[in-house]
Amino acid sequence: MIDLLVRRLLQSVVVIIGVTVITFTTLHLGGDPTYLYVSERASEEEIIATRAKLGFDQPLHVQYLKFAERLLLHGDLGNSLTYHTPALGVVLERFPATLELTFCALLLALVVGIPLGVLAALKHGRPLDGGIMLLALFGQSMPSFWLGLLLILTVGLKFRWLPLSGRVPVLDPLFAGDFGTAWANLPHALPFLVMPSVTIAFFSLARTARLVRSSMLEVLAQDYVRTARAKGLSEFRVVVHHALRNAWLPVVTMLGLEFGFLLSGVVVVETVFSWPGVGRLVFNAINHRDIPLVQAAVIMFSLVFVSLNLAVDLLYARLDPRVRLR
């Protein structure tokens, strides 16, 4: 177990180094970022001076090595070129908002997607199965910005059931140790969370339902399920205790990837619903070629993604005794 953890951590370091090199190179491929930080009337001398101020006058490999040195020796990712404050701080400040949204969306996708998948499998070939699969098809083919705007215009603007956009923070005060404020904010925050969570969850929900359905169909045809039924167990026990328990394994595998996918894929929804999260921040940072900020966000995302996958591997071994960690 310890071996596995150490090996995975070392792999994570390699992954993160690779990711930073690729990000760094890609951001510089688009040309000299200096032009984004000078006035449109700036003279050549002013452009040269600004380039030197921002450190873009150095060769690319020197810039990268300086960045790597700062990161490894001081844990410093540099200051954001846009916000003029430490890049990691800017990312961490937005992270609770994205985490809140992603967590709610994943919860929604699982709570709704799994029962729908089970139901579709149990009613295989019947109209209900067709209806659920049609819904899944819509979920996977509907662009999230379109669904988001549709919800804003109907649920928010026409019926006035929910706020249209914005956020009341819950995790931020919680992470800061201010439980009172977090608790006080929670009821105000929930209405703001509903529409963006539904928008994000719709895609994952559809995928989860399809996966659970196919997995359940496979498991329901197994001999041990037939045996369970022959023993006279209730259908509920057969489905939940015998079938779903085994059908659950591919869903767990997907879970880690899905959380990572949701985490990095919220940019559109964060924009539509004015949700002040990391996705929007990275999108703007790429547009402004704010390299330290993009690097900080990419490292952060990579760490989360790698950790989640490790957690899923450990969980998998726990759920399926046949799997041994090596």
Whether 313 and 7 have beta carbons less than 8 Å apart is answered as no
- Tokens 């940019």 found at: 267
Which of the residues 237 through 296 are near other proteins (CB under 8 A)? 271-274, 276-277, 280-281, 284, 287-289
User: How far lies 47's CA from each of 17, 30, 96, in Å?
Assistant: 31, 17, 37
Under the criterion CB under 8 A, does residue 149 sit at the interface with other proteins?
Answer: yes
Judged by DSSP in three states, 86 sits in: strand
Instruction: Give the shortest CB-244-to-other proteins separation in angstroms.
Output: 16
What DSSP string runs through 142-162?
S-HHHHHHHHIIIIIIIS--S
Residue closer to other proteins by CB (options 200, 206) is 200
Whether 106 and 205 have beta carbons less than 8 Å apart is answered as no
Instruction: Give the shortest CB-130-to-other proteins separation in angstroms.
Output: 28
Under the criterion CB under 8 A, does residue 98 sit at the interface with other proteins?
Answer: no
Under the criterion CB under 8 A, does residue 44 sit at the interface with other proteins?
Answer: yes
Instruction: Give the shortest CB-213-to-other proteins separation in angstroms.
Output: 23
Instruction: Give the shortest CB-167-to-other proteins separation in angstroms.
Output: 6
Choices 60-68, 82-90, 126-134, 208-216; region in contact with other proteins by CB under 8 A: 82-90
Instruction: Give the shortest CB-56-to-other proteins separation in angstroms.
Output: 11
Query: Long-range contact list for 281-285, CB < 8 A, 24+ apart?
Result: 281/90, 281/91, 281/94, 284/82, 285/80, 285/82
Which of the residues 48 through 77 are near other proteins (CB under 8 A)? 50, 53-54
CA distance linking residue 86 with residue 88, whole number of Å: 6
Residues engaged in binding other proteins (CB under 8 A): 30-32, 35-44, 46-47, 50, 53-54, 79, 82-86, 90, 93-94, 149, 152-153, 156-157, 160, 163-169, 183-189, 271-274, 276-277, 280-281, 284, 287-289
